[in-house]
Structure 1
Amino acid sequence: MKKKILFILSMMLLMGCQSSQQPINKIILTQPATLLYFYIETCSECQSFQDDAIPYLQETFGDTLTIQQYDLDDEATQAVYEDVITQLDQFDQSLYGMGPMYALDGYFAKVGYTSGDEEFLVKDIDNAINDKALSDELSGLRFLYQQE
């Protein structure tokens, strides 16, 4: 009897350790894209983006999305950051230098990150590449690239 109870408890423990995370749907973008990610080393939001969003994006898009990471405290980053900022339409200068900021090159940039927004970000990247409307969920502090 004890063995049976021990077996049942062991099975319950093993079942409880299984991941409840949904499988990631892989997306192949119709054209290669680049995400520029600007962070501050001591920023907890930035660390969360690096730990959660970047692996999620890499697994979702594979080789069709290149992610370039830039430390905002590194002087070598400033030229790249300035180039992005000057291309954004109506960028709020009070947000200058704040992290995290990510930019889908040529489409949009967003300042800030909330854990759990990965699916919205995936949708926005896919929609941007396919000339569809971006989601309302990530519209706050999002800036579009200027149209030429």
Structure 2
Amino acid sequence: MMKMKTVLLVVVMGLLMSLLTAGLVVVGNAWMKSATEGGANPFATLFSKKEVPLVVGYVEQKNMMITLKGNGDRERYLMLDLAFVTHSEREAAQTELDMPKLKFLVVEMFSGMQYASARLMTVEEIRMQMMSRFQSAYAQHLPFQDVLIAKMVYQ
């Protein structure tokens, strides 16, 4: 009886070892095949962190007219189309809600500015000044990531 249990245990262990060896051969072949084809290692990607694609959205503010000081009594105008870059629906909704404040900050930036001074500024300088004003107005967190100047027309 004891001999029969020992033989049965040896046979079961042999079958388990055979199955384990067969499984490792299949895994090794898959690994080697992906390595020779230049593909990504399927086993390394199994445990890697999946990256969530970044969603980029834009909240537009079109035809924003700003009065600039001209020479003498003549007024000059600047028309801007702005696009606020957002990374979520929540940011886009908050940017929409804050649009009156954002418009005010842009108008405040140009109020009192001479037309000639505004014309000398590059698009990047204007964008950087806007972002600086936005960041100082929103001490905790901006509702958007960046601002883009889509159109700029002087009159």
TM-score (norm. length: structure 1): 0.27
Identify the structure with the greater strand proportion.
Answer: 2
Q: TM-score, normalised by structure 2?
A: 0.26
Which structure: greater helix fraction?
Answer: 2
